[in-house]
Amino acid sequence: MQFDFHFAWSILPILLQGAVITVIATLGGFVGALLGGGVLAAFHRSGSVALKSFSIGYIYFIRNTPLLVQLYFIFYILPTGGLTIGALWSGIIGLSLHFSAFFSEVYRAGIASVPRGQFEAADSLGLHRGKTWLLVVGPQAIRPILPVLGNYLVGMFKDTPILSAITVVELFGAAQNIAGLTFRYNEPYTMVALIFLAISIPCSLAIRRLDTNASKN
């Protein structure tokens, strides 16, 4: 089947609507993962055995089960227990819960990169725990982890097509609907690839520059 540029142009508005949903899901999942990863990292460093065990167990479970299974559980299984969540919110929650396990490890690596002497210096200056983390540890830990988080953001963006499995009509889901109605596959899927590239490449270049700047500093 030949590629029809007129048809490709005609479906572009529908695909761009799907791209908006893709971006919303990505940003929502990213913010949720940032918060969730921070909580897990804090639990892991806490003096509570229960919280540390929960953090370790959660990370182990999430990292060893597929994202698709987790999304199915949230969207299809939870309603059987009386908790019904919309498709888009299920996708955002699923991405948040999944990537928070990875972000937690990124945070821990960033904290571990701060020399122990910095903690001792803050102690000797009489800084309480909150100020130590806010003024001393945080600024030093965040520099090396920013490029890593940026890479995860791009990875999360490229993982969003899996949300079509729980009926989220994001970019790939919109292409599937068009293909199912028209029986034309070349145009919608080619356009999806081009839209993903148009968004991913500038983000990747920005992250590379951020990584270069972090290395220089």
Question: What is the domain-level CATH number for residue 76?
Answer: 1.10.3720.10
Q: How confident is the model at residue 215 (pLDDT cuts 50, 70, 90)?
A: low
Q: Which of 25, 159, 20, 162 is nearest to 88 (CA)?
A: 25
Half-sphere exposure of 78 (CA within 13 A, CB side): 16
3-state secondary structure of 48: coil
Question: pLDDT over 90 for what percent of the chain?
Answer: 67
- pLDDT, greater one: 208 or 33: 33
**What is the predicted pLDDT for the residue at 141?**
74
Helix axes 138-159, 186-216, angle to 10 degrees: 170
pLDDT for 96-127, tens place per residue?
A: 999 999 999 998 888 777 777 776 677 777 67
The tokens describing 15, both together, are 């695909």
Q: How confident is the model at residue 208 (pLDDT cuts 50, 70, 90)?
A: confident
Q: How confident is the model at residue 187 (pLDDT cuts 50, 70, 90)?
A: very high
**What is the predicted pLDDT for the residue at 121?**
72
**What is the predicted pLDDT for the residue at 24?**
97
Mean pLDDT of 119-139: 70
**What is the predicted pLDDT for the residue at 3?**
85
Tell me how many domains the chain contains: 1
Cα-to-chain-centroid distance, residue 113 = 23
Over the chain, what is the mean pLDDT? Answer: 89
pLDDT for 142-181, tens place per residue?
A: 778 888 898 999 999 999 999 999 999 999 999 999 999 9
| Angle at 26 (CA atoms; ends 19, 13), nearest 5 degrees | 5
3-state secondary structure of 120: helix
**What is the predicted pLDDT for the residue at 1?**
62
Q: How confident is the model at residue 214 (pLDDT cuts 50, 70, 90)?
A: low
Confirm if 91 and 167 have CB atoms less than 8 A apart: no
Residue 217: Cβ-neighbour burial (10 angstroms; 0-12, 13-18, 19+) = exposed
Q: Which domain, by its residues, includes 51? A: 5-216
Which pTM was predicted? Answer: 0.89
**What is the predicted pLDDT for the residue at 217?**
60
Mean pLDDT of 69-83: 94
Confirm if 165 and 94 have CB atoms less than 8 A apart: no
Q: What is the CA radius of gyration of the chain?
A: 21
d(CA 145, CA 163): 27
